[in-house]
């Protein structure tokens, strides 16, 4: 019978005797499940929620001389709510800010080995998105109006006495006209001598 407990092996025979054997287990350092790609360069920039920025790749060797890449570089969003618009050749892309303030991390990966082999190199871009500030006050002209608007009809009637108020000259004239066209018996003529007929 063999029993393994915490890296130590116990061999037991007939349940009466046992022999201990140390296996000498050792642990390596933890590694990621997915292999990481070495990042050779990193950029940081700040955009508003209304902006995007174009990034262009210019590969060079360790001494700064121009270098070629095998195939099109691959662009992707690692974290955040931003977006990426890649040009047809893959050598440039627009990094689009998120609609809300926050941080977006982009990664571009390329193959530096021209041929059948693969040697991936990468660069990271971190974009901080902030809210856009007001730039215009947005003036709007309304329709012109009178400086001294006319008074409502109710106020005019109050100022002129309205119904039941004092009779005006126009009202008296109208009454006299109506009286002259009335019954002659009710009319009193005034003679020049001051006597009534």
pLDDT at residue 40 in the model: 67
Instruction: List the structure tokens of 76.
Output: 């992707």
Confidence (pLDDT) at 17: 56
Sequence-distant (6+) residues with CB within 8 A of 187 are 179, 180
Q: At 89, is the secondary structure helix, strand, or coil?
A: coil
- Per-residue pLDDT tens digits for 14-55: 555 556 667 677 777 777 665 555 666 789 999 999 999 999
- pLDDT tens figures, 100-119: 999 999 999 999 999 888 99
Radius of gyration of the chain from its Cα atoms, rounded to whole angstroms: 50
Structural tokens at position 93: 């892309």
CA distance 98 to 101: 7
- Strand 39-48 versus strand 120-130 pairing type: parallel
In order of their start, the domains of the chain are 39-130 (2.60.40.10)
Question: Which pTM was predicted?
Answer: 0.56
Q: Quick one: tokens of 97?
A: 């800010």
């Amino acid at each position: 019978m063999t029993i393994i407990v915490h890296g130590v092996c116990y061999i037991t025979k007939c349940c009466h005797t046992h022999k201990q054997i140390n296996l000498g287990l050792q642990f390596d350092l933890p590694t990621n499940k997915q292999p990481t790609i070495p990042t050779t360069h990193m950029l940081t920039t700040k955009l508003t929620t209304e902006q995007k920025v174009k990034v262009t790749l210019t590969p060079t060797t360790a001494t700064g001389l121009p270098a070629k890449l095998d195939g099109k570089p691959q662009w992707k969003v690692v974290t955040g709510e931003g977006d990426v618009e890649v040009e047809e050749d893959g050598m440039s892309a627009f990094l689009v800010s998120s609609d809300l303030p926050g941080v977006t991390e982009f990664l571009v990966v390329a193959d530096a080995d021209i041929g059948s082999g693969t040697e991936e190199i990468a660069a990271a871009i971190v974009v901080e998105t902030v809210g856009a500030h007001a730039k215009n006050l947005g003036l709007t002209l309304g329709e012109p109006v009178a400086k001294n608007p006319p008074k409502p009809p109710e106020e005019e009637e109050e100022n002129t006495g309205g119904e039941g108020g004092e009779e005006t000259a126009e009202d008296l004239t109208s009454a006299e006209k109506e009286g002259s066209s009335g019954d002659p018996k009710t009319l009193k003529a005034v003679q020049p001598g001051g006597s009534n007929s």
